[in-house]
Amino acid sequence: MSSDLILVTGGGGFIGGHLVADLVRKGHRVRAVDLKPLDQWWQRFPEVESWSANLERIEECRRAVQGVAQVYNLAADMGGMGFIEHNKALCMLSVLINTHMLIAARDAGVQRFFYSSSACVYAADKQTDPNVTALKESDAYPAMPEDGYGWEKLFSERMCRHFWEDFKLETRVARYHNVYGPKGTWKGGREKAPAAVCRKVAQAKISGVHEIEIWGDGKQTRSFQYIDDCVYGTQLIMASEVREPINLGSDELVTINQLVDIAEEIAGVKLKRHYNLSAPKGVNGRNSDNTMIKAKLGWAPSTRLREGLEKTYRWIYDQIITDAPCPTY
């Protein structure tokens, strides 16, 4: 194809919006498509061809890929642990998006197709201990992923693999590990842990009620990747010759209690902690083994958690002040 047009699905979302912004800064022609109405997109750009469409429908996928050279497929119905544990069927239905996007991309002669997978594909029996051994790519099998969301991601990874094997569509797959940063969901039930913690700490500071609810016992461990590192790594993987799924995440492991510690330090407050042991908390431990991506692409995250969380906290604090002086959500 002679076209240099790049399609970003999920372009109105958090990661998609930042990816579109970076592609535009680099001078690329971009088309962005998202299910949300345009006025609900996190970021929009006048030079980007943007529209709202339901990519579960193959006819919309065919329209989206017309004249496109590369596809970054980031579209999915997803959220934080509270959302994915209570919406397993909705998460599974995202399989329609990737399946139809692959068919449409193949038929349109798209050169490269990137799929955003997740660390939720990893086997649950390897994530039972907070002192988790970092997860390497082979740990996805034998398969025992996160119910609902993780199964959809793992299935869609295999679909990408077979579209390369059978149709020679160049597919690339990254397993995202807990991406966070400004200009993303921070309230309403779909937010992830860093945004939720920043919101709760900011609300406590603003209200003067120095208390916070933590889901689980706070001892569960995670690694969190700042959005700028994710966007850079995503494009690096797309341009590479690495066809197998590959981790894209930080290997800086912290407990949720430590995450709250950092947010408190940034805010300059100390909060009384209440642990909701009946709330969704996910696996006990998850971390990214970055051996493969370091060896094959020379990539490592450049943003430490303290630095990235401060930027995220400042942005969320400003959103709260602007949206409601005394929020109750």
Distance of CA 231 to the CA centre of its chain: 10
Active-site option among 149, 226, 313, 317: 149
Asked if 12 and 34 count as a contact pair (C-beta separation under 8 A), the reply is yes
- Angle 227-239/14-25 helices, nearest 10 degrees? 70
Residues in the chain: 329
Query: Which two structure tokens, joined as six digits, stand for 193?
Result: 């842990």
| Cα–Cα distance for residue pair 211/200, rounded to 1 Å | 9
Question: Annotated catalytic, 149?
Answer: yes
| Cα–Cα distance for residue pair 10/7, rounded to 1 Å | 10
Asked if 204 and 210 count as a contact pair (C-beta separation under 8 A), the reply is yes
Count of beta carbons in the 10 Å neighbourhood of residue 138: 9
Q: 10-24 in b/e burial notation, b at 16+ Cβ within 10 A?
A: bbbbbbbbbbbbbbb
| Cα–Cα distance for residue pair 252/219, rounded to 1 Å | 15
Read off the amino acid at residue 197: V
Could you list the active site residues? 149
